[in-house]
Amino acid sequence: MRTLILTIIFLFSLTKIFGQTQEPKLKISHFTGDFYIYTTYNTYEGSQIPANGMYLLTNSGVVLFDTPWDTTQFQPLLDSIKLKHNKNVTICIATHWHSDRTEGLEYYKRQGIKTYTTKLTDELSKKNDKKRAEYLMEKDTVFSIGQHTFETYYPGQGHTEDNIVIWFEKEKVLYGGCLIKGAEAENLGFLETEM
Ligand SMILES: [Zn+2]
């Protein structure tokens, strides 16, 4: 029997971080295969809140999913990836219009990174005065980058009316964005289920 690993990544944990001055501003952890999770922090309603994004190593550069929330960590994330993997980020895809997903889009565009959101995300970003991507996806889109293929999927309104998820068929990884947080307990954090 083949083991299917379904992974759900919670991007916006409500866990409060204590001792925040000792916390690093940027954390990177290996997830599986070519997948890595990065975490930055911001203050929300008086608490230090982590926001997770992901990146994928390919032999045509690194694909960044969402951007750091902490504006001081846009370049440190690129530098850390370069140092760790000797690869450059070439594409960045943000999964909905909130700042913890989109804040770095314009910075990354200026660094020559191809930035993407859906057209709907762009409309909401514009309306809410958030950073916007250079390239807009009109519908669910398949990306083939280096040896990896993945597709964006709009499941309908959830966390926000524009949220998309990203599915990696070969690896059975679902990058769920804030959508897959739901009404579950606050601190599920990171779920790995074998079926
Ligand atoms: Zn959000």
**Does residue 12 surpass a pLDDT of 80?**
no
CA of 1 to the centre of ligand 1 (A): 37
Residue that has been written with the tokens 């995300």 in this structure: 121
Taking domain 8-194, whether its CATH number is 3.60.15.10 is answered by yes
Ordered by start, the domain boundaries in the chain are 8-194
Rounded average pLDDT over 90-95: 98
CA of 163 to the centre of ligand 1 (A): 8
CA of 26 to the centre of ligand 1 (A): 19
CA of 99 to the centre of ligand 1 (A): 7
pTM: 0.82
Q: Which of 68-77, 105-114, 154-163, 180-189 has the lowest mean pLDDT?
A: 180-189
- Both tokens assigned to 175: 């990058």
Which run of H or of E encompasses 110? helix 105-110
Q: Quick one: how far is CA 43 from the chain centroid?
A: 18
Rounded average pLDDT over 63-82: 97
CA of 100 to the centre of ligand 1 (A): 7
CA of 159 to the centre of ligand 1 (A): 7
Which run of H or of E encompasses 28? strand 26-32
